[in-house]
Amino acid sequence: MITVLTGGTGGAKFIEGLARVVAPPDLTLIVNTGDDFTCWNLHISPDIDSITYALAGMLSRERGWGVKGDTFECLAIMERLGEPAWFRLGDRDLATHITRTGMLAAGKALSEATRAISTRLGVRQRVLPMSDQRVETRLVTPKGELTFQEYFVRERYRVPVGAVRFDGAEAARPAPGVLEAIRGADAVLIAPSNPVTSIWPILAVPGIREALRQTEAPVVAISPIVGGAAVSGPAAELMRTQGLPASSVGVARAYEDFLSALIADLKDKDEAGAGDLASMNIQFHFARTIMRTDEDKVALAEAALRAAGVGAAAR
């Protein structure tokens, strides 16, 4: 079994490639929910939805989020009604949020709602939220504390960030199946996601980091940083705010206590070959990490499996 920790648009792309080379029953995704928030009284889970849509063949390739071919008629009317419209909820996407919110209101846990929605959309892989309890990523800025979506979408990550915290993490528990998926995996992969706001919220849930330290499976991460910059989004800037260099070395340091291997981009071979890495007991591999085509996604997925020492299981 291959278990993946993932979040963000880079994570969704990577999962699209992995799903082409790993049989569905052998693939479990543990997904960041620190980005979840409430809009129009609906529970929105952006990362769970992106992963679900990617596996269901519904993800918008143009945007990297939401449902392909979606329209925004409801959003336009809501804006005329004076409701918040900075988060772009598509009409087809709304069906997922309405369904999830109804299930949660009826007493289902987020993991139960996620399983029901993904199954109904034809997803055969297992999609797990990191926790059924609310853990909210909050960023300290000159405009006050912002949720991740307020920072990322509304402010377009233009405001400086002083600190990042994960509200509610201390009292949270891993969702059912999360620890078992890590402990029982043949390999654990960490998608090319923002370490600070996509992966650290997962690690902040008590028990998950310990499971990664204790698992006998190799843990392999893919760096989302190429040439000192993030492939997309604010990963590089947020890593610097947390005292990490914006580089593959910084990504390695973000996971240093449990990481077996890191895949860095071919462009960073010189940097990754520097003596700074000698002190870390981490193997370094190199591959093309920018995913523009389906072939790029599959090639990176296969590189990650090779680095973990496991072969691809054909569909």
187: exposed, middle or buried (Cβ count in 10 Å: 0-12, 13-18, 19+): buried
**Which pLDDT belongs to residue 313?**
52
How far is Cα 152 from Cα 174, in angstroms, rounded to an integer?
Answer: 25
Mean pLDDT across 19-38: 97
**Which pLDDT belongs to residue 273?**
57
Nearest to 31 by CA among 113, 122, 104: 113
Mean pLDDT of the chain: 93
Q: Is the pLDDT of residue 251 over 90?
A: yes
**Which pLDDT belongs to residue 312?**
56
| DSSP states of 208-234 | HHHHHHH-SS-EEEE--EETTEESSTT
The model's pLDDT over 193-227, given as tens digits with 9 standing for 90+, comes to 999 999 999 999 999 999 999 999 999 999 999 88
Q: Is the pLDDT of residue 275 over 60?
A: no
pTM of the model: 0.94
How far is Cα 152 from Cα 196, in angstroms, rounded to an integer?
Answer: 13
pLDDT band for position 315 (cuts 50, 70, 90): very low
Q: Are 44 and 97 in contact (CB under 8 A)?
A: yes
* Site of tokens 């920790």: 5
Mean pLDDT across 162-174: 96
Mean pLDDT across 45-63: 95
214: exposed, middle or buried (Cβ count in 10 Å: 0-12, 13-18, 19+): exposed
Q: Is the pLDDT of residue 51 over 90?
A: yes
Q: Is the pLDDT of residue 38 over 60?
A: yes
Q: Is the pLDDT of residue 141 over 80?
A: yes
Radius of gyration of the chain (CA): 19
Which segments of 130-228 are extended strands (E)?
A: 136-141, 144-147, 163-167, 187-190, 219-222, 225-226
Q: In this prediction, what percent of the chain has a pLDDT beyond 70? A: 96
**What DSSP state is assigned to residue 175?**
P
| DSSP states of 254-311 | HTTTT-SEEEEEGGGHHHHTSGGGTTS--EEEEE-----SHHHHHHHHHHHHHHHT--
Two tokens, residue 20: 């082409």
How far is Cα 244 from Cα 238, in angstroms, rounded to an integer?
Answer: 9
pLDDT band for position 314 (cuts 50, 70, 90): very low
**Which pLDDT belongs to residue 272?**
58
Q: Are 42 and 98 in contact (CB under 8 A)?
A: yes
108: exposed, middle or buried (Cβ count in 10 Å: 0-12, 13-18, 19+): middle
Q: Which of 80-89, 172-181, 237-246, 274-283 has the lowest mean pLDDT?
A: 274-283
